[in-house]
């Protein structure tokens, strides 16, 4: 097998997978399609988290802040001012990017690292949630519900199918973005900064700029994702979009699948979604158990097991196994 063979294999697998997902909703019911839509959106958001948290090593526990800002910007602009959803999403992304820039600049200025950054970022999301819950203009704790109308230009659709393809495009987009970052100087510099700030600095890397760039980019993409999330859900609730559960989901999905990899966030999210849906189904079938609590418990167990036995995540683990059976020595060719 040479490089070109490997590339064409990857291309064939990629196209095959894409076709599979393109025709998938025609063979399953609305419920499963809906599940996949939110798995897509979560995958995209995990991919966005991965840019700062995976490649850049900025372990954010508060990406819900960016989701929330994107979600509320989209909602308010669309429902109060009639501005199309896609514009709202982009503006929400920009607003998130500003917040991300401010956050990363602050942590660099005051040298907040590791644990303290995780807690600090979590608090940002919580504070924003507290503000929204107390603001009448933003619908308080009740949230804001979208009317069911069909206005494609606004990104408002009846039925789940259009959202399915929209979300699929988002997933393809984040794959392309991650892929090009990984191969660029930015990607190498981000990984270097994560592994040793001092060595990076000595070799000409502006560590502060790397942190700010990765966080701002990640925040922008996350904000846009927050917009598509509320449009697909047709409901914007502060406890949901600013909730810690969302931050945890992004982190867990990426770590489970493999951080600082292109496909890790997607694989991880789909696995977690499968676990969650399976548990919900079981809980409803047996009755009596709160499925939400069950999901939390099982996810917690998974996190512990991943940390202990699969610290790099599923994708790197599978890649290692493939490397052992393939005659190829250069690992970068397989990724």
Partner 1 sequence: MNLLEINSVTKTFGGLVAVNRMDLVIEEGKIYGLIGPNGAGKTTLFNIISGFYKPESGDIFFAGENVTHLSSDQLCHRGLVRTFQIPKMFPEMSVIDNVLIGALSRTKKVGLARSEAEEIIHFLGMEAKKDTLAGSLRVHELKRLEMAKALATKPKLFLLDETMAGLNAVEQNQMIDLLKKVHDSGVTLFVVEHVMHVVANLCEHIVVMNYGEKIAEGRPQEVLNNEKVVKVYLGEED
Q: Which residues bind partner 1 (CB under 8 A)?
A: 183-185, 188-189, 191-192, 195-196, 198-207, 329-330
CA distance 294 to 231: 28
Contacts 24+ apart (CB under 8 A), 260-264: 260/50, 260/54, 260/55, 260/191, 260/194, 261/50, 261/54, 261/313, 261/315, 261/316, 261/335, 262/175, 262/178, 262/179, 262/182, 262/335, 263/175, 263/315, 264/50, 264/54, 264/313, 264/314, 264/315, 264/316
CA distance 222 to 236: 16
Output 55 or 66, the one with its CB closest to partner 1. 55
Q: How far from 302 is each of 66, 155, 310, CA to CA, in Å?
A: 26, 36, 10
- Rounded least distance, CB 107 to partner 1, Å: 17
Output 143 or 316, the one with its CB closest to partner 1. 316
Output 230 or 306, the one with its CB closest to partner 1. 306
- Rounded least distance, CB 43 to partner 1, Å: 24
Output 308 or 329, the one with its CB closest to partner 1. 329
DSSP string covering 55-95, please? IS----S-THHHHHHHHHHHHHHHHHH---HHHHHHHHHHH
Output 21 or 317, the one with its CB closest to partner 1. 317
Q: How far from 103 is each of 4, 68, 111, 134, CA to CA, in Å?
A: 43, 15, 12, 23
- Rounded least distance, CB 329 to partner 1, Å: 7
- Rounded least distance, CB 108 to partner 1, Å: 12
- Rounded least distance, CB 159 to partner 1, Å: 44
Output 140 or 183, the one with its CB closest to partner 1. 183
- Rounded least distance, CB 98 to partner 1, Å: 25
């Amino acid at each position: 097998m040479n490089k070109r063979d490997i590339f064409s294999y990857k291309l064939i697998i990629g196209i095959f997978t894409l076709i599979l997902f393109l025709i998938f909703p025609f063979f399953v019911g609305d419920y499963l399609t809906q599940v996949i839509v939110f798995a897509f959106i979560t995958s995209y958001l995990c991919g966005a988290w991965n840019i700062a948290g995976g490649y850049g090593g900025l372990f954010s526990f508060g990406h819900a802040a960016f989701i929330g800002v994107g979600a509320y910007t989209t909602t308010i602009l669309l429902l109060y001012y009639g501005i199309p959803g896609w514009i709202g999403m982009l503006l929400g992304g920009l607003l998130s990017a500003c917040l991300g820039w401010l956050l990363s600049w602050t942590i660099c200025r005051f040298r907040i690292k590791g644990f303290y950054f995780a807690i600090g970022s979590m608090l940002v999301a919580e504070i924003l949630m507290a503000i929204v819950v107390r603001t009448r203009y933003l619908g308080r704790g009740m949230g804001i519900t979208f009317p069911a109308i069909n206005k494609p230009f606004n990104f408002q659709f009846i039925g789940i199918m259009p959202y399915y393809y929209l979300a699929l495009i988002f997933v393809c987009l984040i794959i392309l973005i991650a892929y090009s970052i990984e191969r660029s100087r930015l990607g190498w510099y981000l990984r270097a900064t994560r592994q040793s700030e001092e060595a990076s600095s000595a070799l000409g890397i502006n560590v502060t700029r790397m942190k700010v760039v990765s966080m701002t980019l990640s925040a922008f993409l996350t904000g846009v994702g927050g917009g598509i999330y509320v449009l697909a859900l047709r409901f914007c609730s502060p406890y949901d979009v600013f909730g810690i559960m969302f931050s945890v989901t992004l982190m867990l999905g990426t770590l489970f699948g493999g951080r600082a990899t292109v496909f890790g966030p997607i694989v991880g999210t789909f696995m977690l979604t499968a676990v969650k849906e399976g548990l919900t189904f079981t809980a409803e079938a047996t009755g009596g158990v709160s499925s939400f609590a069950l999901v939390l418990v099982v996810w917690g167990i998974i996190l512990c097991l991943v940390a202990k036995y699969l610290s790099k995540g599923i994708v790197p683990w599978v890649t290692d196994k493939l490397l052992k059976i393939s005659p190829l020595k250069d690992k970068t060719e397989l990724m």
